[in-house]
Structure 1
Amino acid sequence: MSRTAPRRIAGALGAALLALGLAGCASEPDRYFTLAEPALPQPLVAPPPGGIAIEMAPLAVPERLARPQMVVRGPAGGEVQVLEQHRWAASFEQELRDALATGVAARLGATDATRGPGMASVPPWRITTQVERFDATAGGQVQAGFNWTVRQSDGTQRSTCRWSGSEPAPGGIEGVALAGQRIVAQVSDAMARHVAALQAGRPAACPGPNG
């Protein structure tokens, strides 16, 4: 072997490592999505003179969804894919909790005591939510099911409702995120109407499925 052979080998290895490094730098960066509605809605009803407050309890979600990565089903429906480079802005249960709390509070003109103290003189309506399903298929649809209980923190009232429905999710992963936002809007609306009925002393009419 000539004296230049080791140098050639070392040079080739160095070039290969550099190429791999550049390929790694050029790989697709992580993308982050939100479930928050693009624009906050106007209140459904005028808040009572003394004000109103809500508190969204930590959500219970299926274990496979309790992660920041987006989880989708394959085209056949049996395979579940965890998408490492497509993530929610926070862990799914926290992202969904924040989006629902913001949506419900906006629709009621209420103080959101979810992440901080509310009004000392107004006991908040506490909403405890179970996410029964949130099954997404990229290019297909998002099917979701929720049940929740609304109770005043002083324990004077308690009422339970359920919602289920689906939204089309065309256009890949962005379509899944947009479908999730529409579902959040519908569930926030149902929860807000539930709280408004209880606040007004009326029976709460649970929503039907949206199909």
Structure 2
Amino acid sequence: MNSRCVAATLGAALLMAGCATSSGPQYYSLAETAAPVRTAVAAGGTTPVYIELAPIAMPERFARPQMVVRKKGSPESPAVDILEDHRWSSSFDSELRDALGSSIASRLGAVDVTKTGRLRGQPATRIAVQLGQFDAAEGSRVDASFTWTVRRTDEGPATGCQLSLSEPVGSGFDALAQGAQRVTAKLADAIAASVSAIKANQVPSCAA
């Protein structure tokens, strides 16, 4: 085999190797790696606590797997980027609901019946969350605002709460995803506290 053939063969092999090792989208999760675990007593009772989380309400632009971020270098601009190569592991509304459900349950020592369903007559605290704002800027911060209602199943009116958060983040999309994780964890803290207050027949401090 002459040198030209060797060079052509080597070039083709390198091209194939490059195609084989090219990376696809990077996926991120909002789930905590080590959520705090507490007992049902923290929720104001000794009997098992059941929670049921409604689908998260949010603007349609966020209900997608791709990260939606502010234009880099222009965090105050109304322009955003929808990142095909940086995605949540599922649609953002589903990702947030799954992360919140498990985190709230772990904080309360509760049973999350969101997906499994509850038995007829089984009491459960129903939680409905609405995302109002979720602005993420790489190398800057994640600003988010939420409202939610908590009520005991079929018992009286719902109690409403609201929370605004701002979490500083470093450079890179890993740092941005970690900032979103921290926002989610703080939201879970606040919701769990409101559930505990209601179970104890108290008015949550976050009540709107």
Structure 1 length as normaliser, TM-score? 0.83
Amino acid aligned to 1:57: A
Q: Does residue 67 in structure 1 map to residue 64 in structure 2?
A: yes
- Does the Cα contact within 8 Å between 2:31 and 2:99 map onto a contact in 1? yes
Alignment partner, residue 6 of structure 1: none
Q: How does 1:40-189 map to 2 (within 5 A)?
A: 40-43=35-38, 46=41, 47=43, 48-74=45-71, 75-77=73-75, 78=77, 79-118=79-118, 120=120, 122-189=122-189
Cα drift, residue 154 of structure 1: 1.3
The SS at the match of 2:179 is helix
User: Following the alignment from structure 1 to structure 2, what is the Cα–Cα distance between the partners of residues 117 and 67?
Assistant: 25
- Output the aligned Cα RMSD: 2.4
Per-residue CA deviation, residues 12-46 of structure 1 (Å, 9 max, x unaligned), is 9xxx9998776554433211100011112022762
Identity, % of aligned pairs?
Answer: 41
Cα drift, residue 68 of structure 1: 0.4
The SS at the match of 1:205 is coil
Cα drift, residue 152 of structure 1: 1.6
User: Following the alignment from structure 2 to structure 1, what is the Cα–Cα distance between the partners of residues 119 and 187?
Assistant: 25
Are the structure 2 counterparts of residues 50 and 95 from structure 1 closer, same or farther at C-alpha, using a change threshold of 3 Å? same
The SS at the match of 1:100 is helix
- Does the Cα contact within 8 Å between 2:149 and 2:160 map onto a contact in 1? yes
Cα drift, residue 50 of structure 1: 2.1
Alignment partner, residue 5 of structure 2: none
- Does the Cα contact within 8 Å between 1:58 and 1:128 map onto a contact in 2? yes
Q: Which has the larger radius of gyration?
A: 1
- Does the Cα contact within 8 Å between 1:45 and 1:196 map onto a contact in 2? no
Structure 2 length as normaliser, TM-score? 0.85
Alignment partner, residue 27 of structure 1: 22
- Does the Cα contact within 8 Å between 1:141 and 1:166 map onto a contact in 2? yes
The SS at the match of 2:155 is coil
Are the structure 2 counterparts of residues 56 and 23 from structure 1 closer, same or farther at C-alpha, using a change threshold of 3 Å? same
- Does the Cα contact within 8 Å between 1:111 and 1:118 map onto a contact in 2? no
Amino acid aligned to 1:37: E
Alignment partner, residue 7 of structure 1: none
Cα drift, residue 155 of structure 1: 3.1
Between stretches 48-57 and 95-104, larger displacement belongs to: 48-57
**Structure 1: which 5+ residue stretches go unaligned?**
1-11
Q: How many pairs align?
A: 197
**Structure 2: which 5+ residue stretches go unaligned?**
1-7
The SS at the match of 2:116 is coil
User: Following the alignment from structure 1 to structure 2, what is the Cα–Cα distance between the partners of residues 60 and 49?
Assistant: 32
